[in-house]
């Protein structure tokens, strides 16, 4: 049975950022206490800047038992400005003590299909006892079309059930070649957190969270089977919502 969805609204991204960092930190502590490590899947976009600012600001944050992967990645070299791994390496990993070998990056020198297969093998090495990777936490964003990871509306990859990592060579958003976690892996996570900010996201956020048609959108199909689902949004993104929302006070923990 899917866990209850929590939609939490903050006045602005300035208040959202510290709450997100606190949630990551608390889940990391729980995972390390229970299983000896914390497995985290990252997405790009505005999350890079937010996490790179807020996580290193936490006192005594210890990344030595973290294992970090990526929810999707563009098939570009690490030094390319489009590389999510490259952005996190420069802006976040350089400020934390996550072991270099515990950051799982793609091999962008491979053709896209082989790259996806290679990344799937890397995940299998990290999750050898699971049919599919079970991350402790995935951090996701959502595009204005309702896509998440590199899973786009109407794309055949939305129906993929066998692969854990899928190649995409026809992304409607450039660059065209990417690899992405599939929905079965996303929905196997112990905790999934969407972060959505800005007034431009208000229409699609309402469609995903409230609309009948929204059920077909990729972001609406993220419903963890046994995990927790958070939507952390700011006031402008939540402007059109009519559902019951959580509005925590300053400094509240999630």
- Note whether residue 169 is domain-resident: yes
Bridge partners (DSSP) of residue 178 are 74, 168
pLDDT of residue 251: 78
The string of pLDDT tens digits covering residues 3-58 is 679 999 999 999 999 999 999 999 999 999 999 999 999 999 999 999 999 999 99
Rounded to whole angstroms, the Cα distance separating 246 from 170 reads 38
Q: Where are the alpha helices (DSSP H) in 173-223?
A: 183-186, 202-210
- Note whether residue 230 is domain-resident: no
Rounded to whole angstroms, the Cα distance separating 138 from 123 reads 14
- Note whether residue 241 is domain-resident: no
The string of pLDDT tens digits covering residues 153-204 is 999 999 999 999 999 999 999 999 999 999 999 999 999 999 999 999 999 9
- Note whether residue 97 is domain-resident: yes
Structure tokens at 125: 């090495």
- Going by C-alpha positions, the residue among 204, 202, 222 that lies closest to residue 213 is 204
- What phi and psi, each to the nearest 5 degrees, are found at residue 173? -110, 125
pLDDT of residue 253: 86
pLDDT of residue 250: 81
pLDDT higher than 70, residue 152: yes
- Note whether residue 78 is domain-resident: yes
Report how many domains make up the chain.
1
pLDDT of residue 137: 98
Crossing angle of helices 46-54 and 84-91, in 10° steps, is: 20
- What phi and psi, each to the nearest 5 degrees, are found at residue 117? -65, -40
Rounded to whole angstroms, the Cα distance separating 40 from 155 reads 26
pLDDT of residue 126: 96
Calculate mean pLDDT across residues 236-253: 91
Calculate mean pLDDT across residues 56-67: 95
- Going by C-alpha positions, the residue among 194, 178, 185 that lies closest to residue 50 is 194
pTM listed for this prediction: 0.96
- Note whether residue 248 is domain-resident: no
> By the 8 A CB rule, do 178 and 195 touch?
no
- Note whether residue 242 is domain-resident: no
- Going by C-alpha positions, the residue among 253, 97, 247, 84 that lies closest to residue 175 is 84
Q: What range does the domain containing 147 cover?
A: 5-225
**CATH number for the domain harbouring residue 35:** 3.40.50.1360
Rounded to whole angstroms, the Cα distance separating 151 from 153 reads 7
- Note whether residue 94 is domain-resident: yes
Q: How confident is the model at residue 63 (pLDDT cuts 50, 70, 90)?
A: very high
> By the 8 A CB rule, do 223 and 1 touch?
no
pLDDT higher than 80, residue 101: yes
The string of pLDDT tens digits covering residues 208-218 is 999 876 678 99
């Amino acid at each position: 049975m899917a866990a209850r969805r929590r939609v939490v609204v903050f006045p602005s991204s300035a208040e959202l950022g510290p709450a997100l960092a606190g949630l990551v930190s608390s889940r990391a502590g729980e995972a390390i206490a229970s299983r000896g490590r914390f497995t985290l899947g990252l997405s790009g976009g505005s999350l890079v800047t937010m996490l790179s600012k807020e996580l290193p600001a936490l006192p005594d944050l210890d990344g030595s038992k973290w294992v970090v992967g990526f929810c999707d990645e563009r098939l570009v070299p690490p030094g390319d400005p489009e590389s999510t791994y490259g952005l996190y390496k420069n802006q976040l990993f350089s400020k934390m003590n996550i072991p270099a070998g515990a950051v799982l990056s793609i091999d962008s020198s491979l053709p896209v299909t082989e790259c996806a297969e290679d990344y799937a093998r890397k995940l299998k090495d990290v999750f050898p006892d699971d049919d599919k990777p079970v991350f402790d936490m995935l951090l996701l964003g959502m595009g204005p079309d309702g896509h998440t990871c590199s899973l786009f509306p109407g794309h055949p990859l939305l129906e993929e059930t066998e692969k854990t990592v899928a190649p995409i060579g026809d992304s409607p958003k450039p660059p065209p070649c990417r690899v992405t976690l599939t929905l079965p892996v996303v929905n196997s996570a112990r905790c999934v957190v969407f972060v959505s900010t800005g007034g431009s996201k208000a229409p699609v956020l309402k469609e995903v969270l409230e609309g009948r048609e929204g059920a077909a959108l990729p972001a609406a199909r993220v419903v963890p089977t046994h995990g927790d689902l958070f939507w952390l949004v700011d006031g402008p993104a939540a402007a059109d919502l009519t559902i019951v929302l959580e509005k925590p006070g300053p400094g509240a923990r999630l």
